[in-house]
A and B are shown apart, each in its own frame.
Chain A
Amino acid sequence: DVKVTQSSRYLVKRTGEKVFLECVQDMDHENMFWYRQDPGLGLRLIYFSYDVKMKEKGDIPEGYSVSREKKERFSLILESASTNQTSMYLCASSLRRNYGHTFGSGTRLTVV
């Protein structure tokens, strides 16, 4: 089975800290995605990448950046964490562009 692994299940950070969320997939998928999920808002796309070193903004990229130096790894960076970035963050990958996503288990980030 394809595995998408997120480095942390729970994370607590202070306002203003730089935060790295790591995601690794083990099946050579082309596309990788970062979403955040908040009650009543569903999943919202932050950034995605369809190739190494390629990235595109999703619907809510403000306050975030990403890095994809290797095909299997896609990192989400919060340059200066704020309390409104407290959320569940989900990483996903897909083999090709119209294939289904495989999601990780999520990282619940709390910014205090």
Chain B
Amino acid sequence: DAKTTQPTSMDCAEGRAANLPCNHSTISGNEYVYWYRQIHSQGPQYIIHGLKNNETNEMASLIITEDRKSSTLILPHATLRDTAVYYCIVVRRNKTTMVGPGTYKYIFGTGTRLKVLA
């Protein structure tokens, strides 16, 4: 099963881009990279996901290397409200003995604690 490795913590100045790296060197061809964040005492919030190509939405950009062994989440203009724990996870497909198609599991690591500084 593909696992992810992220730095424990990072700081970023307000208004600057925050670049959060993630290593997933054992990722398989059909596994997606997802990013979530969790602000203290709330449930995790979905940010973005991708398979091979770079992705962008209103919250962030996701850059995936050509070999897919690592990715970077970019918050283009970090604000104080972006202070949170950011999780990079790989969606794992798991075959089941039950009738029906295979199901997906999410394995969360311990994430990166991003602190945006005023």
Interface size class, chain A: 20 to 34
Partner of A98, one of B91, B109, B110: B91
Pick out which of these stretches binds chain A: B9-17, B40-48, B69-77.
Answer: B40-48
- List B68-106 residues whose CB lies under 8 Å from chain A: 87, 91, 96, 98, 100-101, 103-106
Contacts of A41 in B (CB 8 A): 110
Pick out which of these stretches binds chain B: A11-19, A75-83, A102-110.
Answer: A102-110
Residues of B within 8 A of A (CB): 32, 34, 36, 41-46, 49, 87, 91, 96, 98, 100-101, 103-111
Residues of A within 8 A of B (CB): 4, 31, 33, 35, 40-45, 48, 50-51, 54, 56, 58-59, 90, 92, 97-98, 100-106
